[in-house]
Amino acid sequence: MKLLLVLLSAYILTSCLAERLRFDNYRVYRVSPTKASQLKGLQTLEANNQDALVLNSLHLGPTDFLVSPSYDETFLKLLKDLNLSPELIDANAQASLSLDIEPIADANRRSDDYSWTEYHELNDTHRWMQNLVAKYPDIVSVFVAGQSYEGRELLGLKINHKNGRAEKQAIFLEAGMHAREWIGPATATYFAHELLTSQQPQIMSLARSYVWYILPHANPDGYVYTHKTNRMWRKTRSPQDKNCVGTDPNRNWDFHWREVGASSDPCSESYAGPKAFSEPEVESLSQYLRSLPEPMFMYLSLHSFSQLLLYPYGHTSTLPENHKQLEQIFNAAVGAMKRRYGTRYTGGNVYDAIYPAAGSSMDWVYGALNVKYSFCYELRPSGYSFWTGFRLPAAQIIPTGQETTDSLVEMIKAAAQIEGYKIE
């Protein structure tokens, strides 16, 4: 969500060989427009994804570009004309990208060989979820929240202990909205595993007190594409105008759609789509959320990166009515996040904590479904690192899962205390 990185690395699989699109001697510049006129001048570059790639959402403040060697002089002249002084972040993007190459997951892996020491392909996770139904038939079921443009299921886990408690509330956790953010789905499945296997009393109580819906891959087409073709793909895979592909699914929700922080350019990484709910993944997920049989207590969305915890809104700096309660829950959650490894999170409302960004799932659930507690995590790592930010090493999956579980436990406890809802 924070850095809208574009087409930095492509995997084209032919036979057993993978050939990557290279970015030798491409430079990364950071530019900080402070005037609307400067921002408008930079917008001419947004669709120029061959020579000057916009790495994060164009807004007043730091904006990053990946610039080809042949376009470097033209790019610097444009900045001079706009009275902007660039900061050189990286002089050779390819050298940095080459430091962090994820292996492609083994398609022949056994269906029961699933761990959190590596990132998994979509089919691996789907098989793992199906196996959990057989392993925990009285607790676990799978749900389908719709289909993608390419016909893949939005498959999720439902965890419901039949403990006799009347009128349980639901908590919905969604991940993988942006395809390249692999740590989100990995953390979602890690947390599901904790709900089913942990012997810690607080986690066991949490598992029993709510009906859990966990959707690891809200954008399955994009995720598959990151494994097969382009590791840095962000959007969906639906064809758009101007021979461009994909919509940003987290700008496509029908809540203040495309008012701010979203693009109308089909080639942009933050393209909001031709209309709200244009993407079948988003539209079908919204319908599924409306159809839940239980009242929704909380909605959680996992993204990366920046180590932020966010709450509504993205379209305005006006705080939501229950912002004091959201801040109270926020404080409990970020406090728990740093207990284990000292990982520090900041955040607040989206508009002020990152930048304006309308049309997200979190805002839609809060604004359209009136779910009082709606949050988005931007997981590890922190800071600016365009070549590794979306490629968190697999060795950090378990620590990220552990600290996020700590945070979720305290977050939900704090919200339940506000509501007077007793966790068993």
- Domain(s) labelled CATH 3.30.70.340 in the chain stretch across 11-97
**pLDDT tens digits for range 238-264:** 999 988 999 999 999 999 999 999 999
**DSSP H stretches of helix in 277-322:** 280-290
Query: pLDDT grade, residue 55 (50/70/90)?
Result: low
Rounded to the nearest angstrom, the gap between the alpha carbon of residue 300 and the centroid of all alpha carbons in its chain is 11
Tokens of 418: 């506000």
Give the pLDDT score at 186.
98
Give the architecture (CATH level 2) of 122-229+255-419: 3-Layer(aba) Sandwich (3.40)
Which residues, other chains included, contact 420 with Cβ-Cβ below 8 Å and sequence gap of 6+?
A: none
Global pTM reads: 0.88
**CA quadruple 401, 402, 404, 408: dihedral positive or negative?**
positive
Query: pLDDT grade, residue 107 (50/70/90)?
Result: very low
Residue 139: name the closest of 165, 125, 157 by CA.
157
| Most distant CA atoms of the chain, gap in Å | 69
Question: Active-site residue numbers?
Answer: 378
Residue 389: name the closest of 23, 97, 105, 177 by CA.
97
**pLDDT tens digits for range 276-325:** 999 999 999 999 999 999 999 999 999 998 899 999 999 999 999 999 99
Per the model's pLDDT, the better-predicted residue between 54 and 125 turns out to be 125
Collapsed DSSP state (helix, strand, coil) of residue 378? strand
pLDDT, the chain, mean: 89
CATH class in words for 11-97 = alpha beta
- Domain(s) labelled CATH 3.40.630.10 in the chain stretch across 122-229+255-419
Per the model's pLDDT, the better-predicted residue between 10 and 25 turns out to be 25
Least confident range from 85-94, 213-222, 292-301, 322-331: namely: 85-94
Please tell me the distance from the alpha carbon of residue 392 to that of residue 181, in angstroms, as a whole number: 9
Q: Residue 83, by phi and psi: left (phi above 0), alpha (psi -120 to 50) or beta?
A: left
DSSP designation for 322: T
DSSP designation for 263: B
**DSSP readout, 226-260?**
HHHT-TT--S---B-GGG-B---GGG-SSSSTTSS
**pLDDT tens digits for range 59-81:** 788 877 889 999 999 999 999 99
**pLDDT tens digits for range 138-194:** 999 999 999 999 999 999 999 999 886 778 999 999 999 999 999 999 999 999 999
